[in-house]
């Protein structure tokens, strides 16, 4: 069996740790994002509010897409 050099293994462990930290960070967004949808009307009648709220949601979507392709999750 071929073993990866120590430097490759260290890099892999660091990458996994970083990925887990990023996923943990996204998980922490769950409550504030849920609260946002429970208490805020995104498609507000006021265009300024609506545009700003849609921009905020788009920034959250972009940040999450850097970590994982959530479109592949069923449900």
Instruction: Check residue 1 and give its pLDDT.
Output: 53
Instruction: Check residue 69 and give its pLDDT.
Output: 81
Sequential DSSP letters for 5-65: PHHHHHHHHHHHHHHHHHHHHHHHTHHHHHHHHHH--TT-SSHHHHHHHHHHHHHHHHHHH
Instruction: Check residue 48 and give its pLDDT.
Output: 97
pTM of the shown model: 0.60
Cα gap 43→28, rounded to integer Å: 25
* pLDDT tens for each residue of 17-62: 998 898 888 888 889 989 988 999 999 999 999 999 999 989 988 8
Instruction: Check residue 54 and give its pLDDT.
Output: 95
Q: Is the pLDDT of residue 15 over 70?
A: yes
Q: Do residues 64 and 26 lie in contact, with contact meaning Cβ atoms separated by under 8 Å?
A: yes
Cα gap 61→75, rounded to integer Å: 17
């Amino acid at each position: 069996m071929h073993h990866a050099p120590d430097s490759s293994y260290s890099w892999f462990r660091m990458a996994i740790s970083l990925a887990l930290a990023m996923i943990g960070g996204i998980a922490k967004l769950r409550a504030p994002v849920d609260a946002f949808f429970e208490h805020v009307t995104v498609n507000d009648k006021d265009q300024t509010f609506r545009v700003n709220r849609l921009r905020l949601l788009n920034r959250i979507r972009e940040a999450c897409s850097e970590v994982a392709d959530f479109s592949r999750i069923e449900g």
